[in-house]
């Protein structure tokens, strides 16, 4: 157990939060995918989790050819209904990974946040669409079917302020800095890195965002599937404000439950006070409101 974490089996205090990171296997049947997610949320509650986090695109195969077929409205679609109900029944926060969202004629890659009362607390639409072309390895273009979101998304749980991003969003350090500016102590990214970028950048980016902004970072991936189609790297990870990896899964379906401590955030920020040492007289990161 890391010295900088309460750890999975540590003593809980008023400043700790228990997270469940769920690395789900995702298949072609939406009802089965939803049912598996609900089952893991119930198991997480048995371990006394405060927040349960699902992966990107957990109710649908990940691919531009699938988004329109599996898309549904929020908060009235079948996935939203199931997440609302399981959050309420188990008195737990649920970060609903992402699902393809249909809003009139547009599709979005959207993360929902459900409160212990079953109400929709927040909704984040992926701001940076995953359009890449690594020759001979992978080409993917989310913008062929999806529209980009235009808003930062935060919510509060048990004295924590938490920011939401989705997968490719983590590559944009300005977005993480804006969340830090807004007072966030943790960033959550449902994500599905692939077999090319995953080994190179998955852990690196999480540690960088955590260290740069002195906060916790949780990235939750689907379990690794099999070709054909998009194959996720897996390796769901939790990182602390020192940039230390507290927990990491392998490639298969699994769940990790771990405590994090708000005091660690405060200690790191007091000991290495970079936030107050930034030369905002010379440079700054700003949010341009729509």
Of residues 30, 56, 111, 184, which has the active-site annotation? 56
* CA-based nearest residue to 151, from 181, 114, 126, 185: 126
Phi, psi values for residue 75, rounded to 5°: -105, 25
Is residue 47 annotated as part of the catalytic site, yes or no?
A: no
Could you give the C-alpha distances from 135 to 22, 52, 138, 193, in angstroms and in order? Answer: 32, 37, 7, 17
Strand partners, 122: 113
Residue 263 falls in the annotated catalytic set: no
Burial class of 52 by CB neighbour count within 10 A (0 to 12, 13 to 18, 19+):
buried
Which one of the listed residues 30, 45, 123, 126 is annotated catalytic?
126
List Cβ neighbours of 68 (8 Å cut-off, separation of 6 or more). 100, 102, 107, 145
* Options 57, 111, 167, 184, the catalytic residue: 167
**Active site (annotated) includes residue 126:** yes
> Which residues form the catalytic set?
56, 126, 167
């Amino acid at each position: 157990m890391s010295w900088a974490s309460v750890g999975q089996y540590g003593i809980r205090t008023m400043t700790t939060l228990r997270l469940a990171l769920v690395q789900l296997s995702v298949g072609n049947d939406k009802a089965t995918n939803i049912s598996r997610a609900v089952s893991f949320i119930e198991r997480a509650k048995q371990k006394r989790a405060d927040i349960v986090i699902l992966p990107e695109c957990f109710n649908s195969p990940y691919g531009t050819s699938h988004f329109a077929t599996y898309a549904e409205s929020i908060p009235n679609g079948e996935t939203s209904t199931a997440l609302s109900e399981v959050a309420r029944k188990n008195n737990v926060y649920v970060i609903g990974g992402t699902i393809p969202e249909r809003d009139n004629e547009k599709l979005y890659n959207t993360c929902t946040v459900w409160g212990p009362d079953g109400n929709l607390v927040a909704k984040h639409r992926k701001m940076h669409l995953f359009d890449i072309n690594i020759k001979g390895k992978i080409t993917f273009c989310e913008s062929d079917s999806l529209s980009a979101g235009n808003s930062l998304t935060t919510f509060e749980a048990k004295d924590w302020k938490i920011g939401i991003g989705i997968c490719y969003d983590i590559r944009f350090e300005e977005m993480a800095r804006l969340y830090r500016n807004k007072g966030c102590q943790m960033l959550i990214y449902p994500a599905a890195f692939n077999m090319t970028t995953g080994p190179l950048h998955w852990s690196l980016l999480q540690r960088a965002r955590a260290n740069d902004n002195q906060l916790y970072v949780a990235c939750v991936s689907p379990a690794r599937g099999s070709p054909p189609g998009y194959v996720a790297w897996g390796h769901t990870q939790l990182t602390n404000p020192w940039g230390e990896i507290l927990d990491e899964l392998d490639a298969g379906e699994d769940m990790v439950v771990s405590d994090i401590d708000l005091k660690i955030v405060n200690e790191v920020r007091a000991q290495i006070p970079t936030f107050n040492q930034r030369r905002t007289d010379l440079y700054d990161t700003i949010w341009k409101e729509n």
